[in-house]
Amino acid sequence: MKKLTGIILLSGLIAAFNIKAESEVTDLKWETCVSERAGVSFLCDPSWKLNQQGRTLTITIAEEPKVTMVVEETEQAVHFMSELSRSGLESMGRYAPGFHIERFRHCERETVKVNGYLKDDPATRVSDFYLLDHLHLHAVKFSVTPQEVWEDYKWVVKKIVDNIEFRGYELPLKFTTEETDETCEELISTQPN
């Protein structure tokens, strides 16, 4: 009987934990945040904690569960997106074996998306995006701990990535996360003079 009670209690705690996470996620108040030092604008909630160190911006989306986003221009020398191959990504030492790579291309720019788990903390689910422009490798890295609440935050990650923009470029420097019919000429014509 005690064993069954413990299982019911444990299930109740997990259910309560998921309900709390979902309510926090659905109560977001979206606005545009800008970091001039990191050269980026993105959608955020004003309650999120931002920490700027040089050109690296760390955003705490939630404390419990722990959800973070890091925006950085990496110091790693990358000349071609092909350098972000499986072996290149493995050499970064960030990902546990078995991570998944997706590539999207638009207007001569390519986005590399990596989904997996942290090598040093397999309980943490990650979804990282890399974009190369003029030898600058931009990265936006999301992490969620525990991994069981990833589904609750997946839509937040997509909303941010779909709207993030690196500033100071002739064309908007954005991630491409799906195929689009928009041509490069249409993209150029929508830019202010």
In a domain, 3, yes or no: no
Q: Are 33 and 39 in contact (CB under 8 A)?
A: no
Q: Which residues are paired to 137 by β-bridges?
A: 132
In a domain, 9, yes or no: no
In a domain, 16, yes or no: no
In a domain, 164, yes or no: yes
In a domain, 111, yes or no: yes
In a domain, 94, yes or no: yes
Q: Are 55 and 140 in contact (CB under 8 A)?
A: no
In a domain, 145, yes or no: yes
Portion of the chain with pLDDT greater than 70, in percent: 68
> How many domains would you assign to the chain?
1
In a domain, 23, yes or no: no
| pTM for this predicted structure | 0.75
pLDDT > 80? residue 142: yes
pLDDT digits (tens, 9 = 90+) for 163-191: 888 876 655 555 555 555 554 544 433 33
Domain with residue 149: its CATH number is 3.40.1000.10
Residue with the bigger pLDDT between 151 and 6: it is 151
DSSP string, 110-153: EEEEEEEEBSS-TT-EEEEEEEEETTEEEEEEEEEESGGGHHHH
- Please give the residue range of the domain that contains residue 92: 30-189
